[in-house]
């Protein structure tokens, strides 16, 4: 299940991406428009800033803004920052691989085989979508 952190992070990113001229947006505005707790959103936006998705400006006219164009922001990268590993079990993770303690042989493990397919399907969707692709259009 998608965590609230990831859901709200995606909502905040799409809100910022839909702004004209990429002007800084205050946390309070994003929180109000997207119905997100401001305190929780602060933590999420800070994480996105530290990982290079967002910039911030202090003072009057300040707020958060995208550092890249929406079409340059891959959902694979966003998901890994917000959600962590894309795979559901560590033995199929591309970036966070660990063998499972309870599995004697990955090659014959039915769970491993299924989770490889799930991981590959999720990666296919994430790789084929950018922030621009998921912006709600009316």
pTM: 0.87
76-107, pLDDT tens digit by residue? 999 999 999 888 999 999 888 988 888 888 88
- Mean pLDDT value of segment 46-69: 94
CB atoms within 10 A of CB 39: 9
User: Can you tell me which residue has the tokens 């799409």?
Assistant: 14
88, 81, 87: which is closest to 131 by C-alpha? 81
Determine the length of the chain.
138
Assess contact for 16 and 25: CB atoms under 8 A: yes
Structural domain boundaries in the chain:
4-66, 73-134
pLDDT of residue 1: 85
Q: Which two tokens stand for residue 5?
A: 């952190």
- Mean pLDDT value of segment 32-36: 96
CB atoms within 10 A of CB 98: 10
23, 79, 21, 29: which is closest to 12 by C-alpha? 29
Q: Report the CATH fold assignment for 4-66.
A: Arc Repressor Mutant, subunit A (1.10.10)
């Amino acid at each position: 299940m998608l965590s609230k952190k990831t859901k709200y992070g995606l909502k905040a990113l799409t809100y910022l991406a839909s702004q004209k001229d990429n002007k800084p947006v205050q946390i309070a505005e994003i929180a109000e428009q997207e119905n997100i707790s401001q305190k929780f959103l602060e933590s999420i936006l800070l994480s996105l800033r530290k990982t290079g998705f967002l910039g911030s400006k202090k003072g009057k006219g300040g707020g958060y803004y995208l550092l890249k164009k929406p079409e340059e922001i891959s959902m694979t990268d966003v998901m890994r920052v917000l959600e962590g590993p894309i795979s559901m079990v560590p033995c199929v993770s591309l970036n966070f691989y660990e063998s499972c303690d309870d599995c004697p042989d990955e090659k014959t493990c039915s769970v491993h085989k299924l989770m490889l397919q799930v991981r590959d399907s999720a990666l296919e969707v994430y790789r084929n979508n950018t922030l621009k692709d998921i912006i709600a259009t009316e």
